Structure 1
């Protein structure tokens, strides 16, 4: 009798243990995440497609995306701690960290394709000396990008040219170039596509781009998660990143998926523009392995270095690559793309 009671007791403990393990597994499988996103840009395709194609759900996540309309809204959202994950340009996330929000960068899904443009009479970078170059407001990320672009071409931005602050929108600076108010500026390639379609591409000359400058910063899509989420739900963050990587693979394999997403989220219906976006972003700017970019975070630290939360901080202090590195070591990317990594990826 005593033996039977003991067996019943052990069996009860076993069932209780199984129930607890099952409950824990179910909790892990149904992790709920809110992603705060601003602005809507083509390199956000992995986030949007992972949601629409059910990849988050497949990997045990319930993800909601809250799209914001302005950087002011983004800043307020960080102040209120509205989300667990933020998808935005790195400098604004760094600003939130400077204000005390404990966030860590875990991924980057691409950049805005950059061109350094000039008046057609300017044939080489050396011809920029003595000219007016449109840039962002002093000390802004856009201003720093313009300065870095010039420096990489051997131009001293403080001595060789006159920098003309014109705000953060590249279309504003491009229009100023077309009107002759400035002699050169940076612009994203999307604006050039529109200019070419209007028959005005002969009104500017491309002096350099991301590849020739080796400059892949600014207007990108960086992902940062709260350190609390990273510490307490590391598996959920890893599954979030895995889902986005699967979305990148899906878009590269099936263009119709990318066209559908750009149609839904960016209202792009024109076949020629969809073709341009697929070549420029899915096959170009969006990386197969979306590791966070140190230079993006460093640019933000430079811009907001006076904020107390950034005192003594380096870019590496705000970045964690371990989850994507784990996926890489586990052979996830080789299985996803069916081949070993090549240096260009």
Structure 2
């Protein structure tokens, strides 16, 4: 049955250079921890909450290829199912960084004053078919116009999925659906049982649902006008960033080096995915990956905040440049 198959495939596995990263070489890393940029860190241990998504590939590449060690960092990864689950722990200092933190939720928390947000590095940007709206093979839904009023599953309500899909539908003059909150691992089951009319799934769930159910792609979630828009990042608090500037910089250099590997060599990402998820090597070959930016771009982040403002997810514009840790 689809429930067993999806659960098996997608369950989470238990578990010193400058910013130009010239010393990263081929990214294989290797020992020598504490040298170069690792000297003089306020602290060497960094606890990171992370999700089992393709967004987080640079984090695990940095760990497994010794890029954190090279910077003198001991990075401990705590798996979580939703980045929002780690928000209280971040606020309380129980974790130092959240990886794959979805920007929409965390920017809203910043605006409300429940989190003094700082962005250490970008995590991922939208790429073609890294998230798709899927319908059953025999569904009567044949065009975006048919989605009006239909039940569409998203992982979290009023977040990046509905934000980007609303923008796509709006550009095409289509009406909006009714969103239902269903966790990614349960989307395939919900679609199979007819609990929803469509699901908005990200990788690796996207490919698995298509394969298991012969689900049909209705909308490419990475299409205009949201192509390349930032969706997630490595975030911390203003307090942590101000008290640990050298540690933060070392973490950022390691992530940048890993992101460069991920951006230039998709095979490296596909090899890494089975190391922190239960996605097999064969399944990893067909997964559509997000874009991995090497540097943070306030202008690109501003596209996201302006879209949030347009759709009522922010009360007033936020200047992302004030949140980026340099």
Question: How many angstroms does 1:71 deviate by?
Answer: 5.2
Change in 2 beyond 3 A, CA 1:234/1:44: same
Residue 110 of structure 2 corresponds to residue 93 of structure 1: no
Q: Is the 8 A contact 1:111 1:285 kept in 2?
A: yes
CA contact (8 A) 2:44 2:72 kept: no
Q: Does 1:276 align with 2:282?
A: no
CA distance in 2, matches of 1:126, 1:101: 38
State the Cα distance separating 1:210 from its structure 2 match.
0.4
TM-score scaled by structure 1?
A: 0.65
Q: Name 1:46's counterpart in structure 2.
A: 58
Going from structure 1 to structure 2, the CA distance change for 1:95 and 1:126 (only over 3 Å counts) comes to closer
Q: 1:138 to 1:145 in 2, by over 3 A?
A: same
The 3 A distance-change label for structure 1 pair 182 and 153 is farther
Alignment of 1:106 with 2:125, yes or no, is: no
Deviations 1:1-33 (A, max 9, x none): xxxxxxxxxxxxxxxxxxxxxxxx985257424
Deviation at 1:244, TM superposition (A): 1.2
Shift of 1:55: 0.9
After TM superposition, list the pairs within 5 Å mapping 1:1-345 onto structure 2.
28-29=40-41, 31-68=43-80, 73-87=85-99, 88-97=101-110, 98-111=112-125, 113-118=130-135, 120-128=139-147, 132-136=150-154, 139-157=158-176, 163-170=177-184, 172-173=186-187, 175-180=189-194, 182-198=196-212, 200-201=213-214, 203-215=215-227, 220-251=231-262, 257-268=268-279, 270-277=280-287, 280-281=288-289, 284-289=290-295, 291=297, 293-296=301-304, 305=314, 314-316=318-320, 318-320=322-324, 323=326
RMSD of the TM alignment (CA)? 3.7
The secondary structure found in structure 2 opposite 1:109 is strand
Q: How far did 1:234 drift?
A: 3.3
Using the alignment, how far apart are the partners of 2:182 and 2:227 within structure 1? 18
| Structure (1 or 2) with the larger CA radius of gyration | 1
Using the alignment, how far apart are the partners of 1:35 and 1:156 within structure 2? Answer: 43
After TM superposition, give the deviation of residue 54 of structure 1 in Å: 1.5
Contact kept, 8 Å, 1:78 with 1:96, in 2: the verdict is no
Instruction: Please report how far the alpha carbon of residue 111 of structure 1 lies from its aligned counterpart in structure 2 after TM superposition.
Output: 4.7
What SS does the aligned partner of 1:210 have? coil
Deviation at 1:41, TM superposition (A): 1.4
What SS does structure 2 have at the residue aligned with 1:65? strand
**Unaligned residue ranges in structure 1 (runs of 5+):** 1-24, 158-162, 306-310, 324-345
Q: Contact 1:30/1:61 (CA < 8 Å) preserved in 2?
A: no
Alignment length (residue pairs):
279
Runs of 5+ in structure 2 lacking a partner? 1-36
1:101 and 1:128 map into 2 onto residues whose CA distance is 35
Is the 1:90–1:297 Cα contact (8 Å) retained in structure 2?
Answer: no
Q: Residues 216 and 272 (structure 1 numbering): CA distance in 2 closer, same or farther, change over 3 Å?
A: same
- Report the CA distance shift for 1:272/1:290 in structure 2 as closer, same or farther (over 3 A): farther
